[in-house]
């Protein structure tokens, strides 16, 4: 079986593409949760990014982005999606759908 390539720095990738923003905006924030990246220093030097889930479920309004952060992240996501439009077109053409449902 061929080796599946990995994104070299997944935390940076999710931030730079706006995907972390969209995951939070569409899924996590409405549930009162926030997926975030925490960068901590290693004892021997260097920094290690890890994921953290913040729990705001006791807050009736949940989580909202600051308007400036929202605009910047939205632009990143739009650029990423535009860059990958052909990929989406090919998937739609080959499978007949973009988003998998139970019956597909």
Locate 75 and state its tokens.
């632009």
Domain map (residue ranges) of the chain = 10-95
Q: What confidence tier does 43 reach under pLDDT thresholds 50, 70, 90?
A: low
Mean pLDDT score across all residues of the chain = 92
Q: Is it the case that residue 23 has pLDDT exceeding 80?
A: yes
Is-contact 30 63, C-beta < 8 A?
no
Consecutive H or E run containing 40: strand 33-41
How much of the chain, in percent, has pLDDT values that exceed 70? 92
Instruction: Please write the tens of the pLDDT for every residue from 59-97.
Output: 998 899 999 999 999 999 999 999 999 999 999 999 999
Q: What confidence tier does 5 reach under pLDDT thresholds 50, 70, 90?
A: very high
């Amino acid at each position: 079986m061929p080796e599946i390539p990995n994104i070299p720095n997944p935390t940076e990738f999710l931030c730079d593409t706006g995907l972390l923003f969209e995951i939070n905006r569409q899924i996590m924030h409405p549930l009162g949760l926030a997926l975030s990246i925490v960068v901590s220093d290693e004892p021997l030097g260097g920094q290690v990014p890890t994921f953290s889930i913040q729990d705001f479920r006791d807050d009736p309004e949940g989580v909202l982005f600051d308007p400036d952060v929202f605009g910047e992240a939205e632009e990143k996501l739009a650029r990423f999606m535009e860059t990958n439009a052909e990929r989406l077109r090919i998937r739609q053409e080959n499978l007949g759908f973009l988003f998998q449902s139970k019956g597909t």
